[in-house]
């Protein structure tokens, strides 16, 4: 990092209103494949670089005092990819489950996974659980990782659960409110997404936090995820802070 890089980050930080940070930021970590392709490398190298970016950005998010960030790491649709690519991704994810805790120890972050875990092996699920339990008492950033996550799948699982409770007589129609639905989703307890960040030039949600992002401010940029920097996160936050959020009402 050069003097100029440090200076630029400092200047951007000075523009951020730290009293008005987005409470929940969603990040779609997209563009790993294209990053690798441009360098003539296999896609898995892009995912490896993307994993490094994830570590840098999640650490920085904690440093600047963000409350919660949810990273989209693997979607319910990503199983459609070649077996080789899916396996490479699983190796990276498992490596994070094995070694990420030590790195997190000093950071005070709370880790939580969202998505359907039943697709993963028993030992993989045990590691997820262990990471959540080991960081449960931390008081820093709520770091959510979306694995085998899709909004439609999340809403489908939640609705099934509701039907089961109703069938047992444990839930009445009037118990269903926007709040109770939010509390039954994987993101229970988290605030709604204020800022949704998607790099890589794609301008869509790809089945990510659709209920939770109903009023999110969307931030898109052409930067590919492995090239995404702390400055990009600061730029997205500054842009967010300059938006006029009306929520259907009218601001004076
Ligand atoms: C995002 O990068 C990582 C995952 C979806 C797991 P991609 O692999 O989608 O990269 P592109 O979009 O092909 O460049
Ligand atoms: C979204 O990216 C999923 C993740 C980043 C984990 P994709 O690359 O899978 O999304 P599409 O296919 O471009 O919509
Ligand atoms: Mg992609």
User: Is residue 243 in a domain?
Assistant: no
pLDDT tens digits, one per residue of 25-59: 999 999 999 999 999 999 999 999 999 999 999 99
Domain range spanning residue 37? 21-223
Task: Name the average pLDDT for the chain.
Answer: 96
Q: 74 CB less than 6 Å from ligand 2?
A: yes
Q: 29 CB less than 6 Å from ligand 2?
A: yes
Pocket test for ligand 1, best of 41, 42, 46, 147 (most atoms within 8 A of CB): 46
pLDDT classification of 104: cutoffs 50, 70, 90? confident
User: Is residue 4 in a domain?
Assistant: no
User: Is residue 240 in a domain?
Assistant: no
pLDDT tens digits, one per residue of 172-206: 999 999 999 999 999 999 999 999 999 999 999 99
**204 Cα nearest atom in ligand 2:** 14
User: Is residue 134 in a domain?
Assistant: yes
User: Is residue 39 in a domain?
Assistant: yes
pLDDT of residue 101: 84
Annotated catalytic residue within 30, 186, 194, 232: 30
C-alpha 244/C-alpha 32 separation (Å) is 32
User: Is residue 45 in a domain?
Assistant: yes
User: Is residue 251 in a domain?
Assistant: no
**225 Cα nearest atom in ligand 2:** 5
Q: What is the CATH number of the domain that holds 82?
A: 3.40.1180.10
Determine how many CB atoms are found less than 10 A away from the CB of residue 38.
Answer: 11
Q: Is the pLDDT of residue 109 over 90?
A: yes
In the chain, how many domains are there?
Answer: 1
Q: Let me know if 30 is a catalytic residue.
A: yes
User: Is residue 11 in a domain?
Assistant: no
């Amino acid at each position: 990092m050069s003097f100029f890089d440090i200076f630029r980050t400092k200047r951007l930080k000075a523009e951020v209103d730290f009293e008005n940070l987005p409470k929940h930021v969603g990040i779609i970590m997209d563009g790993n494949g294209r990053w690798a392709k441009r360098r003539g490398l296999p896609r898995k190298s892009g995912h490896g670089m993307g994993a490094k970016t994830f570590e840098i950005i999640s650490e920085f998010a904690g440093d600047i005092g963000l409350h919660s960030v949810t990273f989209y790491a693997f979607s319910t649709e990503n199983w459609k990819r070649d077996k080789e690519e899916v396996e490479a991704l699983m190796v990276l994810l498992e490596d994070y489950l094995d070694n990420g805790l030590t790195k997190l120890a000093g950071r005070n972050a709370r880790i939580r996974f969202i998505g359907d875990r039943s697709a993963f092996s028993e030992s993989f699920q045990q590691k997820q659980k262990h990471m959540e339990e080991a960081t449960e008492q931390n008081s820093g950033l709520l770091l959510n990782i979306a694995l085998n996550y899709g909004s439609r799948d999340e809403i489908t699982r939640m609705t099934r659960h509701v039907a089961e409770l109703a069938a047992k007589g444990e839930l009445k129609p009037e118990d269903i409110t926007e709040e109770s639905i939010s509390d039954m989703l994987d993101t229970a307890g988290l605030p709604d997404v204020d800022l949704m960040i998607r790099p890589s030039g794609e301008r869509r949600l790809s089945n990510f936090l659709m209920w939770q992002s109903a009023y999110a401010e969307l931030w898109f940029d052409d930067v590919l995820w492995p090239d995404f920097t702390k400055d990009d996160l600061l730029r997205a936050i500054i842009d967010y802070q300059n938006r006029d959020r009306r929520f259907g009402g009218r601001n004076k």
